């Protein structure tokens, strides 16, 4: 039996529009609970990260034909600095998975799972060479006592990099790595939230050109495909989002958190990488701004959100 809230989500997936003709008791309760859910948006206690294998330099997947060489030593220093920000500066409890040389892309853990509340959806990555990455992620999330949902349908593909959670709803990019069936399974896993799909016409993932910069704030790249995607998201949603436009699409990939004793935190690109975009983030006067370098991993399509799965673990869980 498909619940009314889930029917709404599936209808959006199929037609690109929300249903307004039937509001169930479940939907009314969901609206009443939304303020409480939004109050916890960006609150995290744990992060799952993974070591960077030497095989990344030569064997990691790339969307571009560029043969720009990855400096492995620099990439590892970058990643170590990223992990240290999460652990030391932000105080998250880290689950560190070992690198696997047989899985060159395994450092990009975001694609292996989508976590919301106490539910973890183990994905089925679009690239066949990455499917085994989910095994270690499943074990880590099971150890954190999350409710595990596995994507077993062989017709479904979903990369976590295509999933934008706003605190109110999910947007799922339909890309080279994520398809309609994957989006439908995500909607089934997270029935309390509406799910809408967005075509990704350029770039690897939806979050290759957008991310959340705070409650109700979407950071978006300035390219035409990014702006078209934002327009679709605005049309799909019942909520009016604010936007922060940055000149560089890749710079739009940020990590937002709202942490005790720290408030609004944003990990974003460095001025060395994207000087004009970096200036835009300075407008966020209420945020603790933490520039994090990603110069090496970006050569193989890695972004800031790619390298961690963030979790808010309840004390009694």
Q: Are strands 119-122 and 147-150 parallel, antiparallel or unpaired?
A: parallel
Alpha helices, DSSP H, located in 40-164: 56-59, 72-84, 133-143
Site of tokens 């992060």? 47
Q: Report the C-alpha gap between 99 and 122 in whole angstroms.
A: 19
Known active-site residue 287: no
Q: Report the C-alpha gap between 273 and 309 in whole angstroms.
A: 24
Q: Report the C-alpha gap between 115 and 193 in whole angstroms.
A: 13
Q: Report the C-alpha gap between 200 and 229 in whole angstroms.
A: 7
Contact 210, 229 (CB under 8 A): yes
Given the residues 6, 205, 264, 287, the one annotated as active site: 205
Known active-site residue 205: yes
| Of 188, 180, 191, 182, residue with least CA distance to 153 | 182
Any idea what DSSP says for residue 98? P
Given the residues 210, 254, 269, 306, the one annotated as active site: 306
What residues act catalytically? 205, 306
């Amino acid at each position: 039996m498909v619940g009314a809230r889930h029917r709404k989500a599936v209808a959006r997936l199929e037609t690109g529009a929300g249903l307004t003709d039937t509001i169930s008791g479940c939907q009314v309760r969901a609206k009443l609970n939304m303020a409480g859910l939004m109050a916890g948006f960006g609150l995290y206690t744990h992060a799952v990260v993974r070591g960077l294998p030497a095989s990344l330099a030569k064997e990691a997947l790339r969307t571009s034909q560029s043969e720009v060489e990855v400096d492995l030593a620099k990439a590892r220093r970058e990643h170590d600095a990223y992990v240290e920000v999460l652990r030391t500066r932000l105080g998250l409890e880290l689950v560190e998975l070992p690198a696997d040389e047989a899985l060159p892309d395994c450092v990009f853990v975001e694609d292996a799972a989508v976590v919301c509340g106490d539910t973890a959806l183990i994905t089925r990555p679009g690239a066949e060479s990455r499917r085994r990455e989910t095994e270690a992620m499943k074990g880590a999330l099971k150890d954190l006592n999350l409710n595990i949902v596995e994507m077993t349908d062989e017709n479904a593909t979903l990369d976590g990099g295509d999933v934008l959670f706003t605190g109110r709803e999910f947007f799922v990019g339909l890309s080279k790595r994520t398809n309609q069936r994957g989006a439908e399974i995500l909607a089934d896993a997270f029935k309390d939230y509406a799910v809408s799909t967005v075509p990704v016409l350029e770039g690897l993932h939806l979050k290759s050109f957008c991310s959340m910069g705070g409650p109700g704030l979407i950071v978006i790249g300035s390219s035409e495909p990014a702006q078209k995607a934002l327009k679709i998201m605005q049309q799909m949603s019942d909520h009016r989002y604010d936007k922060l436009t940055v000149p560089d699409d890749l710079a739009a990939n940020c990590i937002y958190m709202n942490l005790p004793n720290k408030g609004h935190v944003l990990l974003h690109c460095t001025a060395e990488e994207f000087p004009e975009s970096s200036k835009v983030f300075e407008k966020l006067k209420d945020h603790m701004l933490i520039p994090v370098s990603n110069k090496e991993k970006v050569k193989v399509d890695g972004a800031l959100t790619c390298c961690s799965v963030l979790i808010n673990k309840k004390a009694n869980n």
